[in-house]
């Protein structure tokens, strides 16, 4: 349980860091429901928000790996890999 709590703490403290930067700079953090444009994405380009975002995504990925059954993690990982397979059929080179 210590690992789960440590990852949750990383996520929580990173959210607090984002909130502090947003408040200090009078940013409006973009909502997933808002229309994408460069102006609305400006807060995410702030170096402190990028750092906090990297910590959140890394901790979230580790958290998912810890709580998801191993066989599902293996399947998910296998589905993310794309291999090019070369086939020979009557002298023709085919790829899949």
* Residue range 35-69, pLDDT digits in tens: 888 888 999 999 999 999 999 999 999 999 999 99
Query: Could you give phi then psi for residue 28, rounded to 5 degrees?
Result: -115, 110
Task: Report percent pLDDT > 90 for the chain.
Answer: 58
Alpha-carbon dihedral 51, 78, 67, 61, rounded to 10 degrees: 0
Q: What is the predicted pLDDT for the residue at 18?
A: 97
Please check whether residue 27 is in contact with residue 43, taking contact to mean a CB–CB distance below 8 angstroms. yes
Domain count, the chain: 1
Indicate yes or no: pTM above 0.85. no
Q: Give the structural domain span for 69.
A: 2-95
């Amino acid at each position: 349980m210590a690992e789960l709590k440590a990852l949750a703490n990383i996520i929580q403290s990173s959210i607090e860091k984002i909130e502090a930067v947003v408040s200090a700079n009078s940013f409006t953090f973009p909502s997933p429901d808002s229309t994408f444009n460069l102006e609305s994405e400006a807060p995410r380009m702030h170096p402190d928000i990028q750092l906090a975002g990297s910590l959140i995504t890394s901790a979230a990925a580790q958290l998912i790996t810890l709580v998801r059954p191993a066989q599902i993690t293996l399947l998910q990982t296998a589905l993310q890999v794309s291999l090019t397979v070369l086939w020979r059929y009557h002298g023709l080179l085919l790829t899949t």
